Amino acid sequence: MTVGIFDSGLGGLTVLDAVSRRLPEMTFIYLGDNAHAPYGVRDADDVYCLTKSHVQKLWDMGCDLVVLACNTASAAALRRMQEDGVPKGKRVLGVFVPLIEALTERTWGDNSPPREVGVKNVALFATPATVSSRAFQRELAFRAIGVDVEAQACGGVVDAIEEGDMILAEALVRSHVEALKRKMPHPQAAVLGCTHYPLLQEAFQAALGPDVQVFSQADLVAESLADYLDRHPQMTGADLPARFLTTGDPKRVSDRAMQFLRRKIAFEAA
Ligand code: DGL
């Protein structure tokens, strides 16, 4: 029973960590497109083409289900891939919907009309490509009314994390939070809409203050995947050994991965 997990680089490891804890009986094949990261500064067509070819690779390896553990790919490519039509017996899922369901107090499959929800002011922190796609606002509008979203494109943060420069990453978080607060002084909730950002959750929380509820994706995606596989047991795929694949330099990527998983893992060339 093997599910494919795709990200532009290392951020998807935050999702992999959570789904492996939630579904210990499953194996996962992780593919990071480190050679082309960050995706967040690429245009939508580029992200779509890169994502599509890597998801195809995971399908070809025997994964029936692939999770885009990347908001940028989910925002720029998921809907288009689903509209193009996926091969028979294959599926691709993104990471947006579980987060928005949590924010709008919905359970899976609740397709009732949009309604008022508890939160009114939401700060979204994401990559420039995710912010410009407005995919978050679109998905939110299907489910909630009266929610004001202020988005902050967090330029530079993913590069700093991928380079292992956490001091720079934290300084960038503080300046992006300040910029957000100039536009929305009192957000009630903040969404970390990039799978790299859980590594900086404390920095976001400290800069936002204790009154802001910070939503991070990994555990929400893990719960949602467990629920999906319960409802679609045919999507668990062939029994394959767990693997970590990268389009980048396997040694360098393996060294960087330590900070995400706090254990040693060996990436292989994709
Ligand atoms: N971790 C990814 C995301 O969730 C992408 C970051 C990037 O490649 O810019 O958006």
The 10s digit of each residue's pLDDT in 16-65 is 999 999 999 999 999 999 999 999 999 999 999 999 999 999 999 999 99
| Ligand 1 neighbour 217 (Cβ under 6 A) | no
Nearest to 137 by CA among 128, 147, 129, 127: 147
Q: Is 227 a residue whose pLDDT tops 80?
A: yes
Question: Which domains does the chain possess?
Answer: 2-96+218-269 (3.40.50.1860), 105-216 (3.40.50.1860)
Which numbered atom of ligand 1 lies nearest the CA of 196? 1
Measure CA 123 to chain center.
16
Question: In testing the pocket of ligand 1, which one of 41, 46, 70 has its CB within 8 Å of the most ligand atoms?
Answer: 70
| Of 22, 41, 19, 17, nearest in space to 8 by CA | 41
Distance 196 CA to ligand 1 centre (A): 6
> Does 144 contact ligand 1 (Cβ within 6 A)?
no
Q: Please report the pLDDT score of residue 259 as a whole number.
A: 81
Q: How confident is the model at residue 261 (pLDDT cuts 50, 70, 90)?
A: confident
CA dihedral 121, 10, 81, 152 (to 10 degrees): 20
Q: How confident is the model at residue 1 (pLDDT cuts 50, 70, 90)?
A: confident
